[in-house]
């Protein structure tokens, strides 16, 4: 996957504000607006840009609890069914297959402790194959961003 310096600069700018016009991006980068359009389209087709979304403030929307739930499954044959049900839960923001003592790490948003308890006990623990869970509630978040530092992208 070839990402050059111009792509890195463009990706950094659109991560900051994906609503910027091609002409604004052209002024900032020194690349023509038509080339900006072509580059962004190419990056979308290649899957580098997955989508363009508004990033919401969960607390401002009344979702005051951010919890990380570690899940252990009884057997690898339970993975497919587990994932199918987990991705369907709107409270689950992220689901990661991880190394270590647990199989999966979930990031969950909820209104309050009672809502979190309900999600865990009535929606997650009842999934066939879930044998153990461990929950940690974030007291605060010093950094919470979907941005990827384009400076970390390997040079070709």
Cα–Cα distance list, 136 to 64, 103, 111, 140 (Å): 14, 16, 16, 12
- In this prediction the pTM is 0.87
Summarised one tens digit per residue, pLDDT across range 107-119 is 999 999 999 999 9
Summarised one tens digit per residue, pLDDT across range 78-94 is 999 999 999 999 999 99
Q: Is the distance from CB of 66 to CB of 109 less than 8 angstroms?
A: yes
Residue 34 confidence (pLDDT) above 90: yes
Residue 19 confidence (pLDDT) above 60: yes
- Domains of the chain as residue ranges with CATH: 5-54 (1.10.10.10), 59-137 (3.30.70.920)
Give the DSSP H/E element, type plus range, for residue 68.
Answer: strand 65-73
Percent of the chain topping pLDDT 70: 98
Residue 146 confidence (pLDDT) above 80: yes
Three-state DSSP state, 95: strand
């Amino acid at each position: 996957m070839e990402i050059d310096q111009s792509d890195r600069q463009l990706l950094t700018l659109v991560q900051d504000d994906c609503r910027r016009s091609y002409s604004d991006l052209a002024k900032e980068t020194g690349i023509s607006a038509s080339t900006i359009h072509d580059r962004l389209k190419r990056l979308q087709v290649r899957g580098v840009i997955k989508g363009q979304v508004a990033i919401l403030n969960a607390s401002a929307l009344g979702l005051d609890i951010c919890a990380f739930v570690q899940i252990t499954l009884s057997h690898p044959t339970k993975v497919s069914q587990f994932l199918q049900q987990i991705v369907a839960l709107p409270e689950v923001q992220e689901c990661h297959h991880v190394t270590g003592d647990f199989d999966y790490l979930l990031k969950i948003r909820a209104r309050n402790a009672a809502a979190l308890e309900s999600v865990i006990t009535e929606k997650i623990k009842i999934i066939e194959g879930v044998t153990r869970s461990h929950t940690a509630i974030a007291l605060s978040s010093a950094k919470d961003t979907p941005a990827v530092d384009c400076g970390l992208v390997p040079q070709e």
